[in-house]
Amino acid sequence: MTFDAISIAGSGLSTHRIWLDSLSDNISNINTAVSPNEEAFRQRYVAVQADKNGPGVEVVGALFGDPEGRLVYEPAHPLADENGYVRYPDIDLGEQMSHLILAQRGYAANAGVVDRAKATYEAALQIGRS
């Protein structure tokens, strides 16, 4: 428990990093086409909750978006079916980018807490010296 605030901020850092990872996975697969008889790339959502066993935050799992995606008429595409359609994931890039900003800012805020907690603990270690 000695340096609690640092590990609490650490849980926030890793949660936001996992969120950033899943967002970048979603964005990198935004144009991943498959043939219409396969499932589209499923967008990943990170499920989090306040840590049940004390302060901090924890990732409790991943939820996946809809495998339906959207059908696009691209007859020249090598994966197109006989009607000329291919399946793309239905991911909203604007939403992903705004979540990316939230995740990045959340990560930076937690990094700031680590810095300030360190300054406090350093002050505490000076008690009784002089």
Partner 1 sequence: MLESVTSAALVSALDGLSARQRAIADNIANVNTPGYKAKRIDFEDALRASVARRDGHVKATGRESLDPTRLDGNNVNLDVETLSNIQAVLSYQFATQAVNGQFSSIRTALRTA
Q: Which CB sits closer to partner 1, 33 or 57?
A: 57
The pair phi, psi for residue 3, each rounded to 5°, is -115, 50
Report the residue number, 32 or 98, with the smaller CB distance to partner 1: 98
Instruction: Please identify, using beta-carbon distances, which residue of 5 and 34 lies nearer to partner 1.
Output: 5
CB closer to partner 1, 31 vs 49: 49
Q: The tokens of 52 are what?
A: 């049940």
Say which residues have a Cβ less than 8 Å from residue 53's Cβ, sequence separation at least 6: none
Centre a 10 Å sphere on the Cβ of residue 21 and count the other Cβ atoms it contains: 13
The least CB distance from residue 122 to partner 1, in Å, is 9
Among 36, 69, 89, 106, binds partner 1 (CB under 8 A): 106
What gap in Å lies between CA 68 and CA 56, rounded to an integer?
A: 36
Alpha-carbon separation of residue 13 from 2, 18, 20, 30, 103 (angstroms) = 19, 9, 10, 26, 10
- Applying CB under 8 A, among 57, 80, 86, 91 the residue interacting with partner 1 is 57
Does 48 sit near partner 1 (CB under 8 A)?
A: yes
Q: Minimal distance in Å, beta carbon 42 to partner 1? A: 21
One-letter amino acid at 117 equals A
Q: How far is CA 94 from the centre of its chain?
A: 15
Binding site for partner 1 (CB under 8 A): 4-6, 8-9, 11-12, 15-16, 19, 48-50, 55-57, 102-103, 105-106, 109-110, 112-113, 116-117, 119-120, 123-124, 126-130
